[in-house]
Amino acid sequence: MLFRRVVLCALLVAAIAGFLLSAVQHWRVIPIIHAAERFEQSQASIEPGAAAPPGLAQAHEHGPADGAAHAHPAAAWEPSPGAQRIGFTVLSNVLTAAGFALMMLAVMAAALRRRAVTRLDWRYGLLWGAAGYVVFFVAPALGLPPEIPGAMAAPLAARQLWWVLSVTCTAGGLAGAVFGKGPWRWAALALLVAPYLVGVPLTSANPFAQHSPADAAALAQLAQRFVWATALANALFWLALGSASGWAARRFLNAALEQGVHGFADYSSRP
């Protein structure tokens, strides 16, 4: 029963956070992606058949961290502009939000069951959302800022591995400091710097070197705007996800947990 409630709550939370993220992306993020793609297509038309510059990723991806979800190497299928692209973006955001909501609600349910937290509502959910924002966006973005299409980047596999390391260490450090016991729990915060000691995958000093100086300057401005736009979009996404999860946990999960505890107590007291 508890599992079913967690899943249903996650779907409800995902709809709220996913549609909000899509709206903010449509307003602030996607126009920057479209502008950068025009430079990318212009460069490709100038040098038809030219090999990609060393270090240039053959595909670029954008998730909740940096815009509409898509990956389009040459000759690959991609949604057509307009309703199809918007629809796939919204679907991707909602499905991604559902995964994060399942994870967050499962942790909230475990914390409530073990009495690690004594109160949980939308206000406390904001703190959980802020923690998710730090873990899944801020910490990775400090090493690997969100990139616009057309920028030369480190190899994709290296970036993905470092992203996983950053998320794991940041989540472990925050969880150890908050839920750990004893003065040594603060030592867990040392995990926050571990990914940077390992080393961030190297990127080009000039990620737009393959473009003309004028285009490179314009793309550099777009890249700066893109970082701030994705930071805003993700902040709103995670705060909505956290507050909605806290509200759902209080409204729907508390009753199931209390019923389960009382039911077990009644059963164990029988002769």
As for how many domains the chain has, the answer is: 1
Per-residue pLDDT at 242 exceeds 90: yes
Instruction: Examine residue 216 and state whether it is found in any structural domain, yes or no.
Output: no
Nearest CA among 264, 3, 242, 257 for reference residue 113: 257
Nearest CA among 206, 200, 203 for reference residue 139: 200
- Residue by residue, DSSP assigns 112-145 as HHTTS-S--SHHHHHHHHHHHHIIIIIHHHHHS-
Question: Per-residue pLDDT averaged across 206-233, rounded?
Answer: 88
Question: Per-residue pLDDT averaged across 217-240, rounded?
Answer: 94
Instruction: Examine residue 10 and state whether it is found in any structural domain, yes or no.
Output: yes
Per-residue pLDDT at 116 exceeds 80: no
Instruction: Examine residue 83 and state whether it is found in any structural domain, yes or no.
Output: yes
Per-residue pLDDT at 234 exceeds 90: yes
The size of the chain, in residues, is: 271
Instruction: Examine residue 199 and state whether it is found in any structural domain, yes or no.
Output: no
Instruction: Examine residue 188 and state whether it is found in any structural domain, yes or no.
Output: no
Per-residue pLDDT at 68 exceeds 50: no
Instruction: Examine residue 106 and state whether it is found in any structural domain, yes or no.
Output: yes
Per DSSP, what are the bridge partners of residue 56? 152
Q: Domain range spanning residue 248?
A: 1-45+79-144+231-271
Residues whose CB falls within 8 Å of the CB of residue 159, separated by 6 or more in sequence, listed in order: 144, 153, 201
C-alpha–C-alpha distance, residues 264 and 48, integer Å? 70
Q: For the segment 199-211, what is each residue's pLDDT rounded down to a tens digit?
A: 898 876 778 878 7
Q: Give the pLDDT of residue 260.
A: 53
Structure tokens at 28: 């602030």
Q: Give the pLDDT of residue 259.
A: 61
Instruction: Examine residue 130 and state whether it is found in any structural domain, yes or no.
Output: yes
Question: What is the value of pTM for the model shown?
Answer: 0.78
C-alpha–C-alpha distance, residues 176 and 185, integer Å? 6
Structure tokens at 105: 């609600």
Instruction: Examine residue 192 and state whether it is found in any structural domain, yes or no.
Output: no
Q: Give the pLDDT of residue 256.
A: 64
Q: For the segment 90-111, what is each residue's pLDDT rounded down to a tens digit?
A: 999 999 999 999 999 988 888 7
Q: For the segment 4-54, what is each residue's pLDDT rounded down to a tens digit?
A: 888 999 999 999 999 999 999 999 999 999 888 888 777 666 555 544 444
C-alpha–C-alpha distance, residues 46 and 62, integer Å? 25
Per-residue pLDDT at 227 exceeds 60: yes
- Cα–Cα distances in Å, from 260 out to 13, 26, 245, 269? 23, 43, 20, 14
